[in-house]
Structure 1
Amino acid sequence: MPVILAIESSCDDTSAAVCVDGVVLSNVIANQTIHEAYGGVVPELASRVHQQNIVPAVQQALQRAKVSKNDVDAVAFTRGPGLLGSLLVGVSFAKAFALAKNIPIIEVNHMQAHVLAHFIGDNKPSFPFLCLTVSGGHTQIVLVKDYFDMEVVGQTLDDAAGEAMDKTSKILGLPYPGGPLIDKHARLGNPEAYKFPEPQIPGFDFSFSGLKTSILYFIRDNVAQNQDFIAENINDICASVEGRIVSILLNKLKKAADHYGIKDIALAGGVSANTGLRLGLKEMGAKYGWNCFIPEMQYCTDNAGMIAIAGYHKYLKGEFAEQSVAPLARMPF
């Protein structure tokens, strides 16, 4: 009955979780509000706040799971990809904790962990399945054949879907983080109010740079004619932008599902918390007879729960890292 302590510090959220025999008993996330003043994550500040948050987060995770630090059998941690300074805090803590307790460490790929978040809880997809992983920095369609046998069959050629939403929020003058605010305004707007282009990229790959430019010019031209254009139409603008991003994502996912003949379809990553995307996947699933899987909201954004479940399955395989392991800002999938 292995007890896994997990650490996640790839960006600006410090998270710790405890998994006992494959069951995640706690998942503590310490958010960083300091970046709101800068309109985005400042890497140096993020790493400093991680240092402040990591010990309290680990203590809370152990307490909520009712587990002693002496009961921990291994420490799993995010090795990458992510902000190097942020990763360094988590990796260093994991290595030090494990060294002090004379227990093994388990390195975890952050993007693989997003996929494996679907194995927290009872409602699990069956292999093989397709997972649309959408976050601020990544947009991927992953063919998942086994826990660690995954193939990226489609990915963005430039910007990620989350970046398109973040850029839109900045253009509209929304405070950081803008994604949840676009979601909020989109629920009140008409997604058919304005038409934005859908990139014609072959295969299962994505592109969002052209869409970002189109949105920028659209706002610029309309504001030039009416200075109150954004304030008067923000709900429709957000709904139309979100609607186009969702259609781009789901049309590619449908294409991949048809190609591979797969009916188990999963959604993961921070942008999977978006209401429009979640509803769109469910509607498409009902239309095409898919079995759709979306993690609980707490396991969509960056969290240590997904690191814990990934670490658990690596523990069963005996895949441990050396104390010489170093974080990787870019880590191959």
Structure 2
Amino acid sequence: MKMWLPVVLVSLLLGGLPATHATAGTRSCNNNGIVVLHGMPLVTVDHKCVQILCLNGLPMPKLFENANSGCCEFKNTLYAPGQVFLDGCVKMTCEKSKWKPVGNTEFRCKRCEVFNDPHFMSFDRHRFDYHGECTYALTQEQFSRTPNFGIFTEFKKCYAVPSCLHRTIFKDNPKLLIGIGYLGLNAPKIYDILINGEKFTIPGDNYAHRLIVKEEDQDVLVWRQGSCIRILGSNGLTLQQCTNSIDIWAHPDLKNKVNGLCGSPDDNIDNDFTSRGKQVFDVEGFAPQEFAESWLTPPGCPAGRKKGSAKKNFGNDKMK
């Protein structure tokens, strides 16, 4: 939890917590009725580079020797100014208590691409076509029909091509849904996203912004990337959404933990066409419709839309 407290209050906080909010001799703290586990932060004042941790039931300060202001926080870890955040698929540097995207994506992360009408390139680099006009799980937590996290995209009929990108949902956790494309996919409308149904315009500066839901900071960063947007989530998934393309990067920690139309990022191309029911289809031929349809996600197929068919017909499109 981030709290904007004057640094002078830290000493008062330290003096009060042991007697009133912490139980000595245990491995957890009770902070105003909220149980805080051993090693987790009770209070973070990132702009002052101060963090109060629960250590064996007692609040203890964590300070930076060479920094007294301008730190950044992500996933309960405090970073000093200039320090590079390496826990995601896009490198960030801490600057003025804000995260600033720097450089390219992390080479260790697996990349899935969806582009044009649409063509797919799986995490393990198998290319195929599928032209459904419904909503599908591109990647999600395992095979569940109610996954805790994932990226889900709706395709629709457009112009002279079989189907194209329409709208995307980035689900970081059961309490955070990010909608992209609901107000348009062309810039500047693509910068207007929905946070649990509420409009949020991604600022046009050079920083990545942490999302806030009900006054609670989320471990999710969003920023503009040219005429596209990027979202770095807390589970190891990073999304880039453009007008006609989607790129997804999966952190190595997600190996054997996510599945969908993008396959599994496990260096095994032979299981890329694994259905939700765990049936593995041959990837040498056409991607079976049964595979794609197994990854239908609510709202599924609106009335009148086609489920489509998979084929290896790359046409004259060039990969972006």
Q: Which has the higher helix share?
A: 1
**Structure with max Cα Rg:** 2
Q: Which has the higher strand share?
A: 2
TM-score by length of 2: 0.26
TM-score by length of 1: 0.25
